[in-house]
Structures are given as structure tokens and as C-alpha cells.
Chain A
């Protein structure tokens, strides 16, 4: 487990080259209602960035804007600029499917494909995207991704069983393995532990730390201890009178949790609201 003290040293501004995500003046709307107001932050490569805040503060909306999953909601619309490694992911020539393949996502409810085996859950999307050919390549991919998701040892003898037969925590790790199988460069996690028990939660958190060695990880959570345990940087969001979410404070997690600059942050972190 990661203690707060071990988190990286203070880092005031991130140079654009180092940032995996560079979000500037993001506004998101559902129909006429503004859900997110003027969100600006950067997320580093090979680091875990936590987005925390009370319910309705637009955390998930921001997260879904980062891999263009927001636009599948018919009424949703965004303004602003989101760069991923310097590329505007909303530029007209960009294919949303390619964005989603590059920036993987893990959801709140584990959602393995229930009619597929564990093996196929991992291999199917990679096959459909033409990333693996033939049985041997697929075998290798399945073992590698399940290994990265710390699930291989538990399921290696039952790869033919339904993905739905696993426990909740195993299902979530299967979903992480599945996301890794299409070769993403970043992984977005939308409250990945809120449906899990404490032990499974710790496993996912450890996994997020491990994955941060190779990927940019952004995790949405309303569990502050989780943010403290798992993240390097924290984006703290809150909600205004018009029910629109906005960013209150951004900074290294250690700093936000020990020495918040903003009164709202302090109140939230110490449990006085939210």
C-alpha cells in the first residue's frame, strides 16, 4: 500500500510534453443543463490521477469526456479542449473508436460479457480490432493481460468458464485485463471499487498502482481514503448552486490531503460535507 508520504514530490506546473491528458476549459451539458463548468487540469503519464468530489460534481462526466464515451448519451455535448499527448481528441479527423481503443475504461459495475468465457472476454475485442491473429498470439495475449490484471493465477485453469461466474472483484480485474488487451495508453476508472468488498478494493487499488508504471491512470472516486492511498495527483471537484460541477483545487495528493489551500477542500476531506 502507498502511504501519503511516499507520493511524489511537489510539482507545481506540468510541462505540456509530460502530460498524458491536458484538459482546458471543459464545459459539459446534458441538454440545456450545464453539468461541468470550466474544468482545466492535466494528468501525467505514468501516474495515477484521482478525481474526487461529492455526488453530482461531474466527476464521471469529465472522465467520460476524456475518451469520448460521453457523446454516446444523446443529449450530451461538450465545449473546450482535451489533448491526449498533444493530440486534440475532438478534432474532426479523429475517429472516436480509435480514441476509445487508445484510452481504455473500467466501469463502476463490473461488466464482463456474460455469454463469453474468461478467455474470450479478454481476446474478443483484440481480435475484432485485428490486434491478434491466430490461436498462439491470442493465448499469449490472454496470459499477459490476465497476468497484468493479477488474475491469471486464479483463473488459468478455468479460462473456458463464463466471465459472469467470477466474484465481483475478479470480474472487475477481468474487465481491466480486457481493457488492457486492446493496447491502450491510458486507463480511465469510473469508481471501479464501489461495487466491491474491501479486500477486492485493495486488490484493484494495488493494481492501479502497478499499472501506473506503464499507463496514465485516472480514477474517479468519492472515497477519499482511496484517493489518498492510490493517487499521485488529485483533482477535487465540487458542485455549485446551478448544480454544475467545477474544479476547486488541483495538486499533488499529499499536499491536497495534508495542506489544502481551499476551505471547501479541507471541509470535504475532513468529512464536514459531501
Chain B
């Protein structure tokens, strides 16, 4: 009798509250999804107007011309992001290893604080810094300066995510390597990095996704160019710069459509890189965890 009554008594009010919270969460979830859906919708409807395979491999035409593509921007983005990543990934990984595996003394804390500070610096300030350091020294704008600026955008993201990953290497694996008298660098290369590879790659993908869309650090480093340039010593375009310059031409619908097409290309590139990275990480990551 008692049990039955108390069982029934808890039922109704609780279920009502549960339902209310559930609906609220659902609504919040839908609300969060809405901007994403809208962005993708606009990107596709507007972006596809000027987009074609030829858009990818054609140099830009005049402002008013209907033809002309973004090859200059795509080449620039690939080169500068690639070089930036080639700088930021090993350095970021090394910083993460230093502050987790080799943390001796106060320098590690200083390094970590410095990385956090760089992460907090607005990207236009990074651009300004590279401008005064590289552009002024070299005497001209260049893709190299752009790549260095992008590497500074990526470095703290890669360092920080890798650091978090090294922290979660299970203690029993660390003890395993120590009990076998593995030298520390061997343990890092053969056990720790493979164990958390997927997380490190996720950090790299995030960093690239962020850098590839950066405009501000490129404005006064790579500057932009209407020519298809592969020489890193010369000013270069990049997809965000291309979008920025084309979108500013308010009176010219063709230019605005090109900006949308470039945006679509940019998002597609990030997506492809993301899938590629994940595939790579899973291929030699943890199977039986």
C-alpha cells in the first residue's frame, strides 16, 4: 500500500518538469542549428551562381567581367596555409611536448602563458607584427609574410590542443614505457603520439580551418594580387582577400557573385581538409580503445 502510493506520488510532477526541460533543450538546439542551416543555404544558393569548375582554374578577369575565376586566390591560400602549417605544426607539437613531457622548472609555465597570450592576440595585431618584422625588413609584401602570419594564428591552437592530448595519455601507458626502460623520446614517438594522434590531428584541422579564413593578418602581409602567383617572395592573393576585395564592389553584381563563389570554395576546402584529416587520424589511431 505504502509503496504503491509513494511510487505513484512521484510520477506526475516530475514527468511534467522533465518534459518541459526536454522541450526547452530541443528548442535551444534547434535555435543553434538555425544560423548554420541559413549560412549553408545562402552559401549554396548565392555561391553556385558564379561557381563552376572553371572558376577554380581561371585567373581573375576585370571587375565587371562575367568570366574570370579565383585561381590566384586558391593557389595563394593553398601555398600560404600549407607553409604556415609546415611551420606551426612541428613547433606547436614541440611546445606541447615541452610543457607536458619535459616540464622542468618555471620556463614551461612561461611558455604556456606565452602561447595563451598569442592565442588571445587579435589576428590583425598579428598581421601588424609580421608587417613590421617581415614586410618592412624585406621591403615588400610577400606570400612568405602571409604564411608567417598564418602560422602565428595556428601555432597556439595546435600547441594548446596537443598539450591537452598529451595530458590524457593514460598513466598506465606512461608507466609501461618507463618499466621497459624506453628512452623518453622513444616513448613519445612510438607510444604517446600515436595514442593521441586523432586528437592532435583534430587540433591541426581546427587550426587550419581558422587560418584559412583569416583576412586581417593577410591584409598587410600578403596584400593580395590579381595574378596567379606561386612565388612566395611576391604579393599573393588568398580566398578571404579575394572575397573581401570582390565583395567591396557593391555596384558590380558579377563581383559580388564571385565573392560568394569564393566563399563556397573556401568552405568546401575546409570541409575536404577536415574529412581528410579525420581519415588520416583514424587510419593509424586507436583501434581497440
Contact = CB atoms under 8 A, between A and B. Distances in A.
B194 interface: yes
Given A72-B175, A128-B190, A114 B287 contact: yes
A179 B180 contact: yes
A107 B172 contact: yes
A182 B178 CA distance: 12
Nearest to A165: B288
Contacts of A178: 176, 180
A13 interface: no
Nearest to A164: B288
Contacts of A105: 175, 179
A112 B194 CA distance: 13
Interface residues of A, number: 28
Interface residues of B, number: 24
A113 B177 CA distance: 9
A109 B172 CA distance: 7
Nearest to A100: B181
Interface in B236-289: 284-289
Interface in A160-199: 162, 164-165, 175, 178-179, 182
A115 interface: yes
A125 B176 CA distance: 10
A14 interface: no
Contacts of B284: 115
A69 interface: yes
Given A109-B172, A111-B175, A115-B194, A125 B180 contact: yes
A106 B27 CA distance: 52
B103 to A, nearest CB: 11
Interface of B: 170, 172-173, 175-183, 186, 190-191, 194-195, 197, 284-289
30 contacts: A69-B175, A69-B179, A72-B175, A98-B181, A100-B178, A100-B179, A107-B176, A109-B172, A111-B175, A113-B176, A113-B190, A113-B191, A113-B195, A114-B173, A114-B288, A115-B195, A115-B197, A115-B286, A116-B190, A125-B177, A125-B182, A129-B181, A162-B287, A162-B288, A164-B287, A164-B289, A175-B176, A178-B180, A179-B180, A182-B181
